Structure 1
Amino acid sequence: MNRILSILLLLVCTSVFSQLQSPTDYLPNYGKQVTFYHQVEDYFTHLTKNSDWIKHQKYGQTTQERNLNAYFISTPENLKNLETIRKNHLNEIGLFPSKSSGYKEVNVIWLSFNVHGNEIGAIESSLAIAFELINPNNATTKKWLEDTVVILDPCLNPDGFSRYANWLRDISGKKTHPGLTDREHMEPWPGGRQNHYVYDLNRDWAWQTQLETQLRMNLYHEWMPMVHVDVHEMGFNEPYFFPPAAEPFHEQITPFQRDFHKKIGELTSKKFDKEGWMYYSGERFDLFYPSYGDTYPSFNGAIGMTYEQGGIGAGRAVSLKNGDILTIQDRIDHHKTAILAAVELSYVLKETLRKEFRNYFKDSRSKPKGKYQTYVIKNNSKNYELLTLLNRNRIESTFADETRKVSGYHYQSNKEKAFTIEPNDIIVSVNQPRAVLTQVLFEPHHKLSDSLSYDITAWALPLAYGVESYALKTPLSLKTKSKIDIKSKEPKTSVYAFYVPWNDRISARVLSQLHQNKIKVRYAKKDILFGNQKIERGGLIITKGDNSKVENFDSVVAKLIQEKSDYALLESGFGEKGGDLGGENYPLLNAPKVLVLGGTGVSNIDFGQVWFYMDQVVEYPLSIVEVANFNRINLADYTTLIMPDGWYNLTDTQKKRIDDFVDRGGKVIAIDGALNFFEDREGYGLTAFATEDEKTAAQKAKEEEQLKNRYLDFEGYERRSISSFIPGAIIENILDKTHPLAFGLGDNYFSLKTSYRNFKLLKNAQNVIYVPKNYLSFGFIGNKLKKSIEDSVTFAIDYKGSGKVIYMIDNPLFRGFWENGNLLFSNALFLVD
């Protein structure tokens, strides 16, 4: 009888396996041609239908309504107890109140593919890796899965991937073109690397500005994996990269995390040595900036790792410098071997991994590494966006419910100061499960073990958000509350005007809605009192007198501005000391008509930041035209031209059209590289040096340095070059607070500078925001560059004819997370009229 049952069981298993196909069997062109996204989903559907070792969860949709998918891979028994495993896992690190049952402990590993859409070797390999994990003939992977749940996300960026895949399919013929002079290796603008809004999702893990990131992080924080593998591609001539990562390692990276990196390098290298594949580790890809797919998980207790296969621009096949041909199948094989090695090591070290993961959360609370243990953010309307960020990162915070005098580090002055905690101030304690992430995001200064960092080196949230904040070295015992009570406002029949403070992105979005609904709006040029109500510079005034034709004025306006909870009602237009609402201090605002340049020559990422700001942050209409079609546009239809960072190669006709647009009253907002068009151009005031003496002195210093450099060795060139380098640092700026470009920003502005570009204070222009002598800075700045930035302008306005150009040397929209920069850009768009 037992023999008969065994035979029947074997027949059943054989039948199931006969239906379970490998990617090569299921997809005829697998490894030869890029797979469409719907085919990727079809294949994973095939796996889930024909195997009980894999389970699907859709966790959202992209902007273009493509599915975001996660696949849980483990034993059938583990998958049946998935929720129990999750709760037990979170309980061990203090994120779930109690264990749901005594089910065995299971490790959680997360594999992420294709955060960059045109790195197709990543998503292609996800199919092969998923199959190998559940392949009934692979007893080894089945053993791993007894104690492991693998969460596999085959594509973090479906919109970008589909843009690239559809293009490559569209231009592909029967023959491949390994030579570099074929369009197969010349991806058109804006490329498939970024998402719908042309944002780099791999820099968005902490900031979560993008929909895909927000949805993914909801699931991530529900599971909190112990290991996170981030699968990428790089330039096609590069050998394979696997951990260990390069210096600098952030000081919060633990010895165990470092040791795991070393062990993964040792194991993976053996597998690559066996195949004769080229590789490298410990170079270029560091663990410092907190918003990558390796660092963010690392600061959440996981072993975060980046894997890079050469492949960007390779198309279906490409000739390498060594004469080899790199194919899609090669890229799949390399990734498959490396990623399965990561799963293998996680299994081999499962007990240690489990123990260290728990200790990470225990030790980070009891023995915090960072300098500060409590952060106090003074009550400010900008705190809404900051709280949104904290909530998305599951960082716990409360509100003060008493007054207390204390002392602490003051971010804005970089000094210890006495201050008073008052009700409704935000209190963030390090004594919480995500203690390390909290410290990493709030610490003002981060130790760099190596100045050659891959990304920005400063990001302190209080400076990014422009909110007065303090850090305390000790825990704080204080009466707190969980929320602030907001009193609702009921418009009175005698409402004369509505006042909307101008102090955050919501103010700008409210103004956007008012403009689009044809509501006339004024703004305050000065601080003035109306009884007990203080009107601050930039504040929006919506009067009944300006909108006499609007039916049900009170209710219509109240609805449009309700998102801005700190608005106020004015019963009279009579202000103190001649500040009446009909006076010159309250001019009417014109609704801008906006044109944004894109296309070849424009930085796709910086274009995306402008597009996202307009479409999602302030929700204001715009027209986008590529530079190649610029001559087809009637500029008289627009009042504002935005030129994102780029390498503009404009024709003389196009240049003249911009000149004429400004002369006739148009406004240009030029960002970073777009300033090249205006620099030293007749009629504009943008020059690197304000005087000939400054120019001569700089040239003399340069020549003296060139003479000294004749005796220097070649080996030290890279190290010496960083003296003029700034990967990304925070720099203090002085404000002309009387100018609309500076309204709402506070007493000073901290700019995130990512370029060595700088201009001395301009002549014949308004230097609204500039770097003073002996400025405060956070993060790495090369010693030569640091001095030259003094007395340089960051944001200026140049008047020409009847119009103006707003020069933005630094990009205030950088990655969308510099919240005070969002407000600054709103000033340029709406208030500088």
Structure 2
Amino acid sequence: MKSILSIVLILAIGHLQAQDYFLEDKGPFDPGIPSPEKFLGYPVGSHHTRHDRIVAYLTQLAEVSDRAEINQYGETYEHRPLVMLTVTAPEHLAQLPALQEKHNRAADPSNTEDLSDLPVFVNLGYNVHGNEPSSSEAAMLTAYILVASESEEVKNYLSQAVIMIDPTINPDGRDRHSQWANMFKGDPLVADPADAEHNERWPRGRTNHYWFDLNRDWLLGIHPESRGKLNWYHQWYPNVVTDFHEMGTNSTYFFEPMKANASKDPIMPAENYTTLNDKFAEYYVEALDNIGSFYFTKEAFDGTYPGYGSSYPDLQGGLGILFEQASSRGHLQETPTGEITFAFTIRNQLSSSMATVKAAVENKDLLYDYQQRFFESALSNAEQSDVEAYVFGDRYDKNRTRAFIDKLLLHRVKLYKLEESVKVDGKSFTSDFAYYVPTRQPQYRMVQTMFETYEEYTDSVFYDASAWSLANFYNMEYAPLKKAAKTGKEVSREDLTREAVKVTQSDYAYLIDWNDYNAPAVLWELQKAGVHVLSAFKPFSLAIDGKEKEFDYGTLVIPVSRQQISSDSLYTLVKESAMGHAVEVTSSASGYSRSGVDLGSRNIRALEKPKPFMLIEDGVSSYEAGEVWHLLDTRVDMPITKIPMRNFEEIDWERYNTMVMVSGNYKQLDSTDSEKIKNWVSLGNTLITIREGSEWAIKNKVVNEKLIGAEDIDEDAAEKEENTTERKPYVEAPENIGKQSVGGAIFEVDLDLTHPLAFGYTREKLPVYRNSEVWIAPSENPYATVAKYTDNPHIDGFVTDKNLNEFLKPSASLIVSKVGRGRVVLFADNPNFRGSWYATNRLFLNALFLGQHIEIPSE
């Protein structure tokens, strides 16, 4: 009996000590409110807490306290709830909708109401990167302090603030990492960095279900986690938003101010990243000094890209703040300055959370004054601009235009139907397809973000991308207007409802324009149902209802008489697919063309159903693999087999006709393996490679193509440069070396519109996204270079003169190389970047659906 009591006493003391480590001087606490340790059954920091347990604990707090309520704002791909715990004084909670309505008037430039009686709204956001877990544990502790503490300090916070706690922004990634860390946790703990606990396997927990980095998705708004948060954000416009992260184990702790913004003229007010950041930094200094934690500021993590959790709020009148904690990557790990514990990382995040609340409360008037002036300055800045509005639209692709409009509305950008035709710089926009975005609106800075491009920067080294003009992401024809044009009604989300498609039954053939972004999804749905579908490799025109109608390259032709199902069943399939994807279908009663080829031509080719697989795991870029997987899953509803590298020897090659190799080192593949791939391609199959995957295919002689590298530069010039090497300060090395990389910029290529990979495109000029130094030489085969950079290719973002002139301009963006009876499609750029490049992922889909039918002529 004594031994059992002793064990219980020891455990109780251990729990108390663990709780004191975090909660010292934060009480006294309401004994009716359970602490995280009591609810979970283990001390915070001794175990990685699953997301469902975190949600359960916050739900418990909301149930037992009149200070808190919990709401769900979204759901992940894996059906985990995204929740927000709101904590404030009971009287505020009782009238929260009224407070919300009044607070949001701060975002209305026309509002002159005194808002000084409002509480400050603080959004504490945690764990956007799943394997940076300390902040979600800190979220529970923060919630407990705010809900249970009876201290006068905390009560004052609640009387002056509405604190909204988002405990886990990326639950799918968090649980993937938590399972790993808990599965390999030792007893006693193992601090050796080589231990499995500290070394996650591919794809690791950083990313969401489709292996995307959600901290880059605030602007792009591709995933449900981000879309849910953005919709929530624009309902509340919090004054302060935190963004808690982790970094390398051997570092310390980072908080803002950041490294200076790399843009020459940042569109966020300078007051944001000077006055406000400096003011809040005083509170973090005090909090971390008090617990003896080391930290740094100003050296890293620029906020140039507007799509981070710490930069997007800066464009919405709030203050976004980044924190980076050295990670224990498990429960305990050695570092050059001693061991770092999971509990230690949690305490730093907790200290910064509470310091943020304190700073917000004590600077409430400053924050509200700034927020109101922010939206007022949006209008005044727009008035000073020489751009009255932007007009955009694609007359050939309503679904891609609809997708771009969705993105504008997601960020609350106001736009209208264009009512009169305008012509700008040789581009014509008419009322049947074009839209009008005025610059004079509260979201003017988001308008700038969507349409403006840049080429001048104060710094050449970026933490992430240097280009983000979303109009180019969507290959959207657009132009700035100097004078206002006549507009119709404002566009709302209801206008995005897909239009009803009418399909007339035919006894001869159905035709589907390949220019529509959703056409590949229709093609796959029909192929999956066993329908024989053909594609036009040359254009033609037919008499439709007595009028001549032109059909472009790639038009899908669905013959009625050559199917294995009845004409009525075929009609039902075509109609339902067309209606589901809002794709127009033309019914034809004849195959005789007015011009171009007839429907029975050899240039109307039967399409083979794609049977693709993709190599994944060790050495392969999870980001790029996830982009391919996401594209096919969410836009085409098409499966792709994901084969781990460890199973390469077991591949049933006869099962597939298309293989995808995204970026990766592919070190596991030896010469025998590369020869196996080459032989499979030569049998008539298609290999699609992206960036480093293309580099691997060239270096391993799967294709007879060349890379452009340093050895291709004029030898005399290189020797002269070597003999005149300039001596430089050692401390400048990272900056000087870093600028040689292409960190993310947009360039223009020239497309061969007659090539099957370009079917569906109507303009020869196409924006592409480049963030690598893979330079592919144009093919020696004159018919094989599908996309080459133009003579003046720069559109947006930073690039050195050397990279631009010596490497980019002479190179190709996309080529097809013949291998026996098959072919390799080599992308130098990433056509599926972050799931948002509608401009170029059609190139990838063309490679998938049409690649088997590309014949490479030779002279």
| SS of the residue 1:375 aligns to | strand
TM-fit CA distance, 1:52: 1.4
Greater shift, 236-245 or 452-461, is seen at 452-461
1:724-763 correspondence to structure 2 within 5 Å: 724-745=740-761, 746-763=763-780
Provide the rounded CA distance (Å) in 2 between the counterparts of 1:648 and 1:504.
36
TM-fit CA distance, 1:325: 1.1
1:825 aligned to 2:844? yes
Provide the rounded CA distance (Å) in 2 between the counterparts of 1:106 and 1:723.
45
Q: Match for residue 169 of structure 1?
A: 182
Whether the 8 Å contact between 2:695 and 2:707 is mirrored in structure 1 is no
Q: Match for residue 72 of structure 1?
A: 86
Greater shift, 711-720 or 667-676, is seen at 711-720
TM-fit CA distance, 1:42: 2.5
Provide the rounded CA distance (Å) in 1 between the counterparts of 2:473 and 2:735.
29
| 1:466-497, Cα deviation, whole Å (9 max, x unpaired) | 12110124544544564599975544454532
| SS of the residue 1:826 aligns to | helix
TM-fit CA distance, 1:215: 1.7
Provide the rounded CA distance (Å) in 2 between the counterparts of 1:751 and 1:371.
28
Whether the 8 Å contact between 2:246 and 2:326 is mirrored in structure 1 is yes
Return the match for 1:264 from 270, 280, 287.
Answer: 280
TM-fit CA distance, 1:389: 1.4
Alpha-carbon RMSD across the aligned residues, in angstroms, is: 2.5
What one-letter code is carried by the residue in structure 2 that aligns with 1:497? Answer: A
Provide the rounded CA distance (Å) in 2 between the counterparts of 1:61 and 1:184.
29
TM-fit CA distance, 1:743: 1.6
TM-fit CA distance, 1:638: 0.2
Provide the rounded CA distance (Å) in 2 between the counterparts of 1:576 and 1:87.
62
Provide the rounded CA distance (Å) in 1 between the counterparts of 2:714 and 2:155.
67
TM-fit CA distance, 1:790: 1.0
Provide the rounded CA distance (Å) in 1 between the counterparts of 2:490 and 2:43.
60
| SS of the residue 1:287 aligns to | coil
1:421-436 correspondence to structure 2 within 5 Å: 421-436=430-445
1:583 aligned to 2:601? yes
1:185 aligned to 2:201? no
1:460 aligned to 2:469? yes
TM-fit CA distance, 1:505: 3.2
What one-letter code is carried by the residue in structure 1 that aligns with 2:221? Answer: Q
TM-fit CA distance, 1:98: 12
Q: Match for residue 796 of structure 1?
A: 815
Q: Match for residue 317 of structure 1?
A: 332
| 1:55-75, Cα deviation, whole Å (9 max, x unpaired) | 100122211111111111111
| 1:447-477, Cα deviation, whole Å (9 max, x unpaired) | 5332221111112222211121101245445
What one-letter code is carried by the residue in structure 2 that aligns with 1:109? Answer: V
Provide the rounded CA distance (Å) in 2 between the counterparts of 1:68 and 1:479.
38
| SS of the residue 2:812 aligns to | strand
Provide the rounded CA distance (Å) in 2 between the counterparts of 1:616 and 1:326.
41
1:544 aligned to 2:544? no
Unaligned runs of 5+ in 2: 1-26, 853-859
Greater shift, 459-468 or 419-428, is seen at 419-428
1:815 aligned to 2:829? no
Q: Match for residue 7 of structure 1?
A: none
Provide the rounded CA distance (Å) in 2 between the counterparts of 1:792 and 1:667.
23
| 1:287-309, Cα deviation, whole Å (9 max, x unpaired) | 21121111111112211111110
Whether the 8 Å contact between 1:524 and 1:585 is mirrored in structure 2 is yes
Provide the rounded CA distance (Å) in 1 between the counterparts of 2:376 and 2:439.
12
1:186-335 correspondence to structure 2 within 5 Å: 186-248=199-261, 250=263, 251-258=266-273, 259-311=275-327, 314-322=329-337, 324-335=338-349
Provide the rounded CA distance (Å) in 1 between the counterparts of 2:792 and 2:447.
30
| SS of the residue 1:305 aligns to | strand
| SS of the residue 2:605 aligns to | coil
Greater shift, 551-560 or 181-190, is seen at 551-560
What one-letter code is carried by the residue in structure 2 that aligns with 1:622? Answer: I
Provide the rounded CA distance (Å) in 2 between the counterparts of 1:272 and 1:212.
31
Greater shift, 38-47 or 620-629, is seen at 38-47
1:316-715 correspondence to structure 2 within 5 Å: 316-322=331-337, 324-368=338-382, 372-380=387-395, 381=397, 382-403=400-421, 405=422, 407=424, 416-417=425-426, 419=428, 421-445=430-454, 447-480=456-489, 482=491, 488-494=500-506, 496-531=508-543, 532-547=548-563, 549-552=565-568, 553-562=570-579, 563-649=581-667, 650-682=669-701, 684-689=703-708, 695=711, 697-698=713-714, 701-709=717-725, 711-715=727-731
Provide the rounded CA distance (Å) in 2 between the counterparts of 1:648 and 1:493.
51
TM-fit CA distance, 1:551: 4.5
When residues 560 and 363 of structure 1 are mapped into structure 2, their CA distance, relative to the original with a 3 A threshold, is same
Provide the rounded CA distance (Å) in 2 between the counterparts of 1:336 and 1:523.
60
| SS of the residue 1:597 aligns to | strand
Whether the 8 Å contact between 1:610 and 1:813 is mirrored in structure 2 is yes
Provide the rounded CA distance (Å) in 2 between the counterparts of 1:781 and 1:371.
27
Provide the rounded CA distance (Å) in 1 between the counterparts of 2:105 and 2:527.
50
Provide the rounded CA distance (Å) in 1 between the counterparts of 2:697 and 2:109.
54
TM-fit CA distance, 1:446: 6.3
1:805 aligned to 2:824? yes
TM-fit CA distance, 1:240: 0.6
Greater shift, 495-504 or 453-462, is seen at 495-504
| 1:43-101, Cα deviation, whole Å (9 max, x unpaired) | 212322222111100122211111111111111111111111111122332399999x9
TM-score norm. by structure 1 comes to 0.92
User: Percent identical across equivalent pairs?
Assistant: 27
Provide the rounded CA distance (Å) in 2 between the counterparts of 1:487 and 1:785.
46
What one-letter code is carried by the residue in structure 2 that aligns with 1:265? Answer: A
| SS of the residue 1:345 aligns to | helix
| 1:510-555, Cα deviation, whole Å (9 max, x unpaired) | 1121111111111122222213221011121222123252351223
| SS of the residue 1:172 aligns to | coil
When residues 683 and 443 of structure 1 are mapped into structure 2, their CA distance, relative to the original with a 3 A threshold, is closer
| 1:263-286, Cα deviation, whole Å (9 max, x unpaired) | 112221232223332111112211
| 1:9-58, Cα deviation, whole Å (9 max, x unpaired) | xxxxx999212133244431311221122221232123222221111001
Greater shift, 374-383 or 192-201, is seen at 374-383
Provide the rounded CA distance (Å) in 2 between the counterparts of 1:115 and 1:297.
15
| 1:586-633, Cα deviation, whole Å (9 max, x unpaired) | 111111101111011111111111111121121112211101101111
Whether the 8 Å contact between 2:416 and 2:488 is mirrored in structure 1 is no
Greater shift, 528-537 or 675-684, is seen at 675-684
When residues 345 and 827 of structure 1 are mapped into structure 2, their CA distance, relative to the original with a 3 A threshold, is same
When residues 169 and 732 of structure 1 are mapped into structure 2, their CA distance, relative to the original with a 3 A threshold, is same
When residues 120 and 52 of structure 1 are mapped into structure 2, their CA distance, relative to the original with a 3 A threshold, is same
What one-letter code is carried by the residue in structure 1 that aligns with 2:575? Answer: A
Number of aligned pairs? 805
Q: Match for residue 9 of structure 1?
A: none
TM-fit CA distance, 1:792: 0.2
Provide the rounded CA distance (Å) in 1 between the counterparts of 2:162 and 2:487.
41
Provide the rounded CA distance (Å) in 1 between the counterparts of 2:209 and 2:226.
13
| 1:432-451, Cα deviation, whole Å (9 max, x unpaired) | 22221121121122653322
Whether the 8 Å contact between 2:740 and 2:800 is mirrored in structure 1 is yes
| SS of the residue 1:711 aligns to | coil
What one-letter code is carried by the residue in structure 1 that aligns with 2:790? Answer: P
| SS of the residue 1:68 aligns to | strand
When residues 391 and 780 of structure 1 are mapped into structure 2, their CA distance, relative to the original with a 3 A threshold, is same
What one-letter code is carried by the residue in structure 2 that aligns with 1:757? Answer: V
When residues 272 and 63 of structure 1 are mapped into structure 2, their CA distance, relative to the original with a 3 A threshold, is same
Provide the rounded CA distance (Å) in 2 between the counterparts of 1:379 and 1:624.
35
When residues 334 and 397 of structure 1 are mapped into structure 2, their CA distance, relative to the original with a 3 A threshold, is same
Provide the rounded CA distance (Å) in 2 between the counterparts of 1:441 and 1:15.
50
TM-fit CA distance, 1:695: 4.3
Greater shift, 290-299 or 387-396, is seen at 387-396
Greater shift, 216-225 or 548-557, is seen at 548-557
TM-score norm. by structure 2 comes to 0.89
1:52 aligned to 2:66? yes
